[in-house]
Homo-oligomer: A and B are copies of this chain.
Amino acid sequence: MDTNQPRWQRRKDARPAEIIEAALTLFVDKGFAATRLDDVATQAGVTKGTVYLYFANKEELFKAVVRETILPNIESGEHLLADHQGTWAELLWILLERWADRMEYSASTGISKLMIAEASNFPDLARFYVEEVVMRSRKLFATVIQRGIDAGEFRPVDPVMATRAVISPLMLIKVWKQSFSLCDTEPVDLKAFARFHYELMMQGLASR
């Protein structure tokens, strides 16, 4: 940060990030329908007018939250794919492990459960989420699996189905953590489970 900038200007630059952070917290806690832009403004310490300066409406703010908190993770996975040198099984594990790590601490984990809960009431947001998050994540994993098949490392399975099989358990745990974690008496060690599932999958996928 350029500390020669006047303080008001630095504050102004920081505002969209602060609004997005406040919105993420409120969306995850209260749901999309129940979150008011007034509450977002209060939580971010700005006026409602300031929120509208950056975001046309609640839908656009939600899209910005998704773009700022989830898409960078997918992009980072895409970069890993582009630069990868080792086996495809190794890359699959790196992607799953990073995902499990993020789930431990990131508030953006709550977005999946939020979308599942509210998708049927907000079809425009559901479409945005499916296109920009779901399809793009699936494509990342399906590409890794397809390359593994092309390299003779994996059996020639349907990469779309294999992608679903590989990513579903972590995705479900992510949703579960937001819903039932308080009353589930069999909590799961996320990283250990991710490894367990990965190893089962690898035995199913490995060419012999």
Total interface residues on A, CB under 8 Å, equals 50
- Say how far A59's CB is from chain B's closest CB, in angstroms: 15
Pick the residue among B127, B161, B168, B186 that contacts A160 (CB under 8 A). Answer: B186
Query: How often does this chain occur in the complex, in copies?
Result: 2
Residues 147 to 193 of chain A near chain B (Cβ within 8 Å): 157-158, 160-162, 164-165, 168-169, 171-173, 175-176, 178-180, 182-186, 188, 192-193
Binary interface profile of A, 107-138, with partner B (CB < 8 Å = 1, else 0)? 00000010111111001001101110011001
- Say how far A157's CB is from chain B's closest CB, in angstroms: 8
Judge if A197 is at the interface, Cβ distance under 8 Å: yes
Judge if A201 is at the interface, Cβ distance under 8 Å: yes
Judge if A49 is at the interface, Cβ distance under 8 Å: no
Judge if A140 is at the interface, Cβ distance under 8 Å: no
Pick the residue among B116, B120, B127, B161 that contacts A116 (CB under 8 A). Answer: B116
The chain A residues found within 8 Å of chain B, CB to CB, are 113, 115-120, 123, 126-127, 129-131, 134-135, 138, 157-158, 160-162, 164-165, 168-169, 171-173, 175-176, 178-180, 182-186, 188, 192-193, 196-197, 199-205
| Given A126-B179, A202-B204, 8 further pairs, Cβ under 8 A | A123-B182, A123-B183, A130-B180, A135-B185, A162-B196, A164-B193, A165-B169, A168-B168
